[in-house]
Amino acid sequence: MSNQNFDVIVIGAGPGGYIAAIRAAQLGFSTACIDEWKNARGGPAPGGTCTNVGCIPSKALLQSSEHFEHAGHGFAEHGIGLANLTIDVAKMLARKDQVVKQNNDGILYLFKKNKVSFFHDRGSFVRQTAEGWEIAVGELRLVGKQIIVATGSSARALPGVPFDEANILSNDGALRIGAVPKKLGLIGSGVIGLEMGSVWRRLGAQVMVLEALPTFLGAVDEQVAKEAHKAFTKQGLKIELGVKVGAIESGAKGVKVAYTDAKGGAQELTVDKLIVSIGRLPNTTGLNAEAVGLALDERGAIVVDAECRTNLPGVWAVGDVVRGPMLAHKAEEEGVAVAERIAGQHGHVDFNLVPWVIYTHPEIAWVGQTEQQLKAAGRAYKAGSFPFLANGRARALGDTTGFVKFLADAASDEILGVHIVGPMASELISEAAVAMAFRASAEDIARICHAHPSLAEATKEAALAVDKRTLNF
């Protein structure tokens, strides 16, 4: 059997891999992309964690559950009455699956459009040859001059407590619970814990979140984390901080979690389902990395330099399988930058400008430095914030929780960080990222005409607040 040769072979078709493959093909390279993810019928399902069991399905369920919550609790103040509100969980999950499928199909279409050869199987290293790196894909052998590894990550289980996806759920099981559980437990109040906890709480579950750290959302700006904690608690999400999780027993009657509370007291929680969302681990076991001496760190992540080069010539790695935030857009940016570097261009990713969004209600979004980071670095800064309560559009929407906060350099006024908790924070944060990419000052934003009435006016007002001259507050 003869080898198939390519300029670039990408292993993994998540957001890091499929975007890298498209960009490589756009740059004129003969490109292959290999991905093993199977849909329910055993067919290809490119898009990785993000499309299949991450960003996309979670946002579909967040949308459905938010509609349900609005219909149940928000419509009345608009004079809209609804009797006998029901939720058909099977239909909601089927819609989510359809949204996922549209994205899988979209990627297959993009591969065709860009002439990327797609292989649906596991890809693993065989050896280095004079022509490049030999990669096994089932019975096939591909050879690539350049390899981009984008194999992503998987949910981390608690030691000795494997996921059964029936009672003890990873993000995968959490996105396909067939009926609203009466009691839902979550271990970890990170991004998945809050998003998934919100979905099932809105649909009627009693939700209890157990978090090891004593601080809520420690990486988020303190003021934002405090506001979000207040809002989630008011909604009925129970979050217990500073716990130590002990034995977990799963049986016909549900799941029992023994834990020690922050005061050292022994506690027990019994729930129908338990979601374990305590972070993710890089996927490197299927790569046969040892055969070629690809260096991994102690977590199993591929070791890369600032430009995503591994220890092997012509082998690159991007996305969740390497250091840095585990975010789809970070993976995509790295994928594009690597394809461009292979083409001799100057691909660049600024990690300080990677925005974060938590799609709860209120949404939380930020870019750049937090106030606690600036204090720790001893940087002189000015802060300004503006509450959505004073924003006309937010009042009309009936969604006035939260604020926009700007942090700017005390001397130059350059924007150092923007933190938002409130309606549509996920969309509003882009203006901040753009401004920071152009190294704008707070005054630059304050002097730009923003449409009225819009939530974005809160951004302009927060920029004005840096100079203590808000107009509407």
Question: What DSSP line would sit under 408-419, residue for residue?
Answer: EETTT-BEEEEE
Interacting partner of 37 out of ligand NAI, ligand FAD, none (Cβ under 5 to 8 A depending on kind)? ligand FAD
Selected from 70, 122, 176, 226, the binder of ligand FAD by CB under 6 A is 122
**Three-state secondary-structure class, residue 241:** coil
Reduced DSSP (H G I as helix, E B as strand, rest coil) percent helix, strand, coil of the chain, to 5: 35, 25, 35
b/e code 370-409 from CB counts within 10 Å (16+ = b): bbeebeeeeeebbbbbbbbebbebbeeeebbbbbbbbbbb
Q: Catalytic amino acids?
A: 452
Query: Angle CA(22)–CA(116)–CA(280) in degrees, nearest 5?
Result: 60
Considering only 49, 103, 198, 400, the residue that binds ligand FAD (CB under 6 A) is 49
Instruction: Match 């559009």 to its residue by tokens.
Output: 393
* Window contacting ligand FAD (CB under 6 A); options: 96-104, 146-154, 223-231, 371-379: 146-154
16 binds ligand FAD (CB under 6 A): yes
Q: How many residues make up the chain in this entry? A: 473
Rounded to whole angstroms, the Cα distance separating 159 from 358 reads 27
Q: How far apart are CA 104 and CA 121, in angstroms?
A: 15
Positions in the binding site for ligand NAI (CB under 6 A)? 158, 187-193, 195, 210-213, 245, 277-280, 325-327, 357-359
Q: Does 104 bind ligand FAD (CB under 6 A)?
A: no
Shortest distance, position 426 Cβ to ligand FAD, whole Å: 9
| Token pair recorded at residue 81 | 């009455």
Question: Which CB, 211 or 461, lies closer to ligand FAD?
Answer: 211
- Shortest Cβ distance from residue 412 to ligand NAI (Å)? 30
User: Which residue is at the shortest CB distance from ligand FAD?
Assistant: 152
Q: Which does 204 bind (CB under 5 to 8 A by kind): ligand NAI, ligand FAD, none?
A: none
Asked if 151 interacts with ligand FAD (CB under 6 A), we say: yes
Extended beta strands in 215-334, E state: 238-240, 244-251, 254-260, 266-271, 273-276, 280-282, 315-317
Asked if 144 is part of the footprint of ligand FAD (rule: CB under 6 A), the reply reads no
145-153, 220-228, 292-300, 404-412 -> range binding ligand FAD (CB under 6 A)? 145-153
d(CA 438, CA 433) in angstroms, rounded, equals: 9
Cβ at position 248, least distance to ligand FAD in Å: 20
Per the CB < 8 A criterion, the answer to whether 184 and 206 are in contact is: yes
Q: Per CB under 6 A, does 11 bind ligand FAD?
A: yes
Site for ligand FAD, rule CB under 6 A: 11-17, 34-37, 48-50, 54-55, 58, 122-124, 150-153, 171, 192, 283, 286-287, 319-321, 326-329, 331, 359
